[in-house]
């Protein structure tokens, strides 16, 4: 392992990496730092070709010290799919989607859980607690079950029912709250203080980012180390887009990619768009979004603890923030499925809405390579995505098309 220390994302304070820690003294998230010169000396790009097609192929850039502590369900190397029909309709000749819905537990949250739980196991954690909008709780519950770590999950009652089932069936202690994820977070915070659980809320421990970071590492490898011009990402808590940006910066430092990074686009729903609002106002961090609501439940994060890191990434890459409507999101789910055969989650579909807006505005150029990220499997959202069909009786003929 090439980890050197943990570093505060806001004030730059440093901490010893072998201690169990959550946030910096200033209240900001901590980032894992590596001896990238040693990584560069020990690992070449070509070395990856002989390794297993999972996220642990990048182990030199991950924080788990001993391989026996790795907790895995086979996560990593999700497909990169070229969207030819949709690209032609949008006037984008190089439109792609990376489909994270094929990961264990059906979402990109498996990446953060795999690395987060592995590191928690290595540091001797016995019980973790977290608030969740659904997918993160499902992923951490599954990986904790595999690791023999107790998991306590607090989830809004409005979260999809399948997420409750996933947590319960994998043995988590599941509690529902009549409120938002911010309310669930308050309950978890008190439990952590009172009972000594390890808080694995979004960005309140340093290792979830490292798992999500592997999306960026895979993107670079899958594009043969020539990065797309734009990466469009659905942004709730923001760990995914932060992780991708961190990965690409680390690849720059070890000389595997060029100095130019993709423009990052943070996509949110009109009913909960604090980061987009802050970007439009050129602010360094977002304000709490009152009465947050959207069909893309994973985007219902009224105030992300790492919003300032997301915004920093947008500014540094000359990216932008885009808010899209629920009606357009639901339409996009069906459009992507019917035109490209991909049944994706509403959060992922929001990226197509954003790309359509940006193409129409001229912000995206026709020949640019544009990558959309789908963060989950559409099968988890059948309650949201109601589909009707005509009822036939035995012996009926099909109607005319």
Q: What is the mean pLDDT of the chain?
A: 96
pLDDT tens column, 46-84: 999 999 999 999 999 999 999 999 999 999 999 999 999
Whether 113 and 211 have beta carbons less than 8 Å apart is answered as yes
Among residues of the chain, what percentage have pLDDT more than 90?
93
Categorize the per-residue pLDDT at 400 as very low, low, confident or very high, splitting at 50, 70 and 90.
Answer: confident
Judge whether residue 391 has pLDDT over 90: no
Judge whether residue 130 has pLDDT over 90: yes
pLDDT score of 259: 84
Tokens of 235: 């942004």
* Average pLDDT of the residues in 116-143: 96
pLDDT score of 384: 81
pLDDT score of 214: 98
Categorize the per-residue pLDDT at 389 as very low, low, confident or very high, splitting at 50, 70 and 90.
Answer: confident
* Average pLDDT of the residues in 352-380: 97
Categorize the per-residue pLDDT at 288 as very low, low, confident or very high, splitting at 50, 70 and 90.
Answer: very high
Judge whether residue 203 has pLDDT over 90: yes
Judge whether residue 192 has pLDDT over 80: yes
Judge whether residue 89 has pLDDT over 80: yes
pLDDT tens column, 255-272: 999 889 999 999 999 999
pLDDT score of 105: 96
The rounded distance, in Å, linking the Cα atoms of 264 and 371 is 10
* Average pLDDT of the residues in 316-322: 98
Categorize the per-residue pLDDT at 351 as very low, low, confident or very high, splitting at 50, 70 and 90.
Answer: very high
Judge whether residue 14 has pLDDT over 80: yes
Lowest mean pLDDT of 89-93, 162-166, 347-351, 380-384, name the range.
Answer: 380-384
Where do the structural domains in the chain lie, given as residue ranges?
A: 80-106+207-379
Judge whether residue 15 has pLDDT over 80: yes
Q: Which fold has domain 80-106+207-379?
A: Rossmann fold (3.40.50)
Judge whether residue 386 has pLDDT over 90: no
pLDDT score of 73: 97
Tokens of 50: 């002989």
pLDDT score of 158: 87
pLDDT score of 365: 98
The rounded distance, in Å, linking the Cα atoms of 301 and 273 is 9
The angle, 0 to 180 degrees and rounded to 10, between the axes of the packed helices 346-361 and 326-340 is 100
Written in H, E and C, the secondary structure of the chain is CCEEEEEECCCCCEECCCCCCCCCCCCCCEEEEECHHHHHHHCCHHHHHHCCCCHHHHHHHCCCCCHHHCCCCCCCCCCEEECHHHHHHHCCCEEEEEEHHHCHHHECHHHHHHHHHHHHHHCCCCEEEEECCCHHHHHHHHHHHHHCCEEEEEEECCCCHHHHHHHHHCCCEEEEECCCHHHHHHHHHHHHHHHCCEECCCCCCCCHHHHHHHHHHHHHHHCCCCCCCEEEEECCCCHHHHHHHHHHHHHHHCCCCCCCCCEEEEEEECCECHHHHHHHCCCCCCCCCCCCCCCCHHHCCCCCCCHHHHHHHHHHCCCEEEEECHHHHHHHHHHHHHHHCCCECHHHHHHHHHHHHHHHHCCCCCCCEEEEEECEEHHHHCCCCCCCCCCCCCCCCCCCC
pTM equals 0.95
* Average pLDDT of the residues in 343-368: 98
Judge whether residue 387 has pLDDT over 90: no
Judge whether residue 208 has pLDDT over 90: yes
Whether 122 and 65 have beta carbons less than 8 Å apart is answered as yes
* Average pLDDT of the residues in 384-401: 84
Categorize the per-residue pLDDT at 390 as very low, low, confident or very high, splitting at 50, 70 and 90.
Answer: confident
pLDDT score of 84: 98
pLDDT score of 118: 98
């Amino acid at each position: 392992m090439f980890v050197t220390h943990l570093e505060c994302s806001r004030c730059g304070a440093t901490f010893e990496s072998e201690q169990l820690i959550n946030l910096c003294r200033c209240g900001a998230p901590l980032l894992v730092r590596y001896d990238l010169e040693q990584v560069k000396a020990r690992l070449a790009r070509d070395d990856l070709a002989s390794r297993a097609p999972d996220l642990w192929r990048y182990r030199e850039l991950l924080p788990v010290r001993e391989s026996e502590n790795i907790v895995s369900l086979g996560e990593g190397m999700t497909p990169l799919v070229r969207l030819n029909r949709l690209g032609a309709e949008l006037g984008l000749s190089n439109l792609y989607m990376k489909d994270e819905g094929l990961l264990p537990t059906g979402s990109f949250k498996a990446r953060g859980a795999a690395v987060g739980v592995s590191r928690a196991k290595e540091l001797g954690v016995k019980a973790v607690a977290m608030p969740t909008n659904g997918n993160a709780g499902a992923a951490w519950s599954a990986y904790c079950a595999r690791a023999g770590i107790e998991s306590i999950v607090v989830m809004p009652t409005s979260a999809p029912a399948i997420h409750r089932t996933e947590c319960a069936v994998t043995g988590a202690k599941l509690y529902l709250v009549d409120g938002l994820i911010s309310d669930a977070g308050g309950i978890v915070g008190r439990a952590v203080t009172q009972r000594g659980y390890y808080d694995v809320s979004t960005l309140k421990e340093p290792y979830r980012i490292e798992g999500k970071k592997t999306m960026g590492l895979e993107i670079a490898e899958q594009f043969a180390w020539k990065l797309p011009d734009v990466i469009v990402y659905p942004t709730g808590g923001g760990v995914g887009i932060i992780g991708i940006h961190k990965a690409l910066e680390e690849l720059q430092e070890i000389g595997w990619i060029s100095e130019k990074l993709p423009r990052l686009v943070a996509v949110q729903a009109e009913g909960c768009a604090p980061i987009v609002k802050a970007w439009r106002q050129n602010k360094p961090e977002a304000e709490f979004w009152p009465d947050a609501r959207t069909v893309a439940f994973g985007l219902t994060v009224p105030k992300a603890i790492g919003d300032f890191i997301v915004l920093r990434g947008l500014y540094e890459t000359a990216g932008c923030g885009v808010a899209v409507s629920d009606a357009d999101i639901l339409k996009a789910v069906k459009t992507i499925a019917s035109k490209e055969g991909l049944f994706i989650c509403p959060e992922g579909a929001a990226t197509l809405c954003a790309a359509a807006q940006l193409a129409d505005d001229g912000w995206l150029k026709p020949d640019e390579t544009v990558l959309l990220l789908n963060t989950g499997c559409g099968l988890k959202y059948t309650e949201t995505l109601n589909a009707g069909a005509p009822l036939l009786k035995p012996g009926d003929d099909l109607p005319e098309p």
